[in-house]
Amino acid sequence: MTAETEAKDAQERPPRRPMRADARRNYEKLVAVATESFLANGPDASLDEIAKRAGVGPGTLYRHFPTRDDLLDAVCTRWADAVAADAAPLLTAEDPTRALADWLVRLVDHVGAFKGLASALLLNADRKHDTAWILHHASEELVARAKAAGGIRQDVTTSELMTLTSGVTYACGYSKQAGKTVSSPERLIGLIMDGVTTR
């Protein structure tokens, strides 16, 4: 769904030349290598090393991604697009409230599988196109459907749900890499759902 993201990008900042072929090539390569590298070495992986492995100079990396966060954002955005796609089937589920709960559990699992790289970006839903916004957006429809079906409280917002879920993603992602034991995502999301369910 990167194409969609790009389309929006274009429509918001119209007078923007397309990237030159070599520039785009390097950009893609950098994101690909960075994904591997962040996954393997954590979010502090050496940027010069990533540049080298992508076959470009550090200057090129820093031109495309002035800060580490810009690169991390690009990586996470792609990942988030894929994760968001996972929500689509749930939109037509018969029990919207259960679908929402399922989705939140999946979200936690995905963040865990992504080594917690994205957990820092899960909040902060107001910049467009970034990780938080994509996931927020994907959740929003599920929340709306659950509300419409009367399954969850009208006064609870998507943001609030995301905030509460972020603690779970963080805890579960952390526990995985530290070998700790924490209650399961299902259990914790269940507790959250218990609080927001109508009764």
Partner DNA sequence: AACAATACGGAGACTGTCTCCGCTTAGCAA
Partner DNA sequence: TTGCTAAGCGGAGACAGTCTCCGTATTGTT
User: In the complex, which residues of this chain contact DNA (CB under 7 A)?
Assistant: 17, 19-23, 25-26, 44, 46-49, 55-60, 62-64, 66-68
Number of residues lying near its own copies (CB under 8 A): 30
Site for its own copies in 122-181 (CB under 8 A): 123-124, 126, 156-157, 159-160, 163-168, 170-171, 174-175, 178, 180
Q: Which does 64 bind (CB under 5 to 8 A by kind): its own copies, DNA, none?
A: DNA
Q: Cα dist. 78→145, 180, 181, 193, 195 in Å?
A: 26, 29, 30, 28, 32
Cβ nearer to its own copies, comparing 55 with 195: 195
> Closer to its own copies at the Cβ: 30 or 101?
101
Backbone angles phi, psi at 190, to 5 degrees: -60, -45
Is 152 strand, coil or helix?
A: strand
Q: Which is nearer to its own copies, 31 or 189 (CB)?
A: 189
Listing DSSP states for 106-151 in one string gives: HHHHHHHHTTTTTGGGSS-TTSTTSHHHHHHHHHHHHHHHHHHTT-
Q: What is the CA radius of gyration of the chain?
A: 19
Running DSSP on this structure, what letter comes out for residue 7?
H
For binding to its own copies (CB under 8 A), which residues are involved?
123-124, 126, 156-157, 159-160, 163-168, 170-171, 174-175, 178, 180, 182-183, 187-188, 191-196, 199
